[in-house]
Amino acid sequence: MKHTVKGDTVTVYLDGELDHHTAKGVRAELEALIESPRVKRLVLDLSGLTFMDSSGIAVLLRLWQRMEELAGTIQVTGLPDQPARVLRAAGLQRLIPLT
């Protein structure tokens, strides 16, 4: 996981798998990143993600919830086919912009 900060936007680049083995650690790292008072926008670039399961959905839902609490926004970009199918099947596009 890499990230960049530009103004009030944190862009996070995830790669590999986001599943029950990795979700807890990824969620903790991402939550720590968005706790800065400056962060108002979280962009998750998933172009390097090869696999996602329901644990990944839970991570994104928690981040969406936390960004709502912080009066910020979240966006997902660079969706490969498999993670896109998982997120759309779960209906996440109703809460989080998926591009």
Q: Taking residues 20-35, report their average pLDDT.
A: 94
| 6: number of Cβ within 10 Å | 9
pLDDT band at 37 (very low <50, low <70, confident <90, very high): confident
Whether the predicted pLDDT of 38 surpasses 90: no
Q: Taking residues 65-79, report their average pLDDT.
A: 96
Whether the predicted pLDDT of 36 surpasses 90: no
For the chain, the average pLDDT equals 95
